[in-house]
Amino acid sequence: MSSRHVKSSFILVNFITHDDKVDCYAGQVQYFFKHIVDFEDGPIEHNLAYVRWYKPAETSKVRYYFSIDDDEETCNVELWKNEFYSYGHDSIISVQNILCRFDTCKM
């Protein structure tokens, strides 16, 4: 991956779990691609991303909560390992599932 694109490749994605809860995962986009399926009514195009998913820092994600001026606590820091899960069928996602980008730092 080109070094000029690495900074913008870190994403957060929401997934609905088997018990209908929404959970957020961190990943790094490897590349984007289009998939076109030809139907009788015409072609349908899908914009997809191939993502490597980070492993959580512990058995569950570690979150740090901070407040500004004694407002409600907000979660703005999460720790993840610098390791990825193996590639699998969930490595390909629709770009509409991307929640936002995030910044990384080393600790």
Instruction: Give the pLDDT confidence score for residue 70 in this predicted structure.
Output: 64
Most confident among 10-14, 43-47, 52-56, 60-64 (mean pLDDT) = 43-47
- Domain ranges within the chain, ordered by starting residue: 3-54+82-101
CA distance 105 to 59: 21
Higher pLDDT among residues 12 and 69, named by residue? 12
Nearest to 15 by CA among 105, 96, 85, 69: 96
Report residue 6's pLDDT band, with 50, 70 and 90 as the boundaries: low
How far does CA 87 lie from the centroid of its chain? 14
**Mean pLDDT calculated for residue range 27-43:** 94
pTM across the whole model: 0.73
Residue 76 has pLDDT above 70, yes or no: no
Report residue 78's pLDDT band, with 50, 70 and 90 as the boundaries: confident
Report residue 93's pLDDT band, with 50, 70 and 90 as the boundaries: very high
Angle at 41 between CA 39 and CA 47, to 5 degrees: 55
DSSP characters over 3-70: HHHHGGGEEEEEEE-TTS-EEEEEEEEEEEEEEEEEETTEEEEEEEEEEEEEEESSSS-EEEEE-STT
Task: Provide the CATH topology of domain 3-54+82-101.
Answer: SH3 type barrels. (2.30.30)
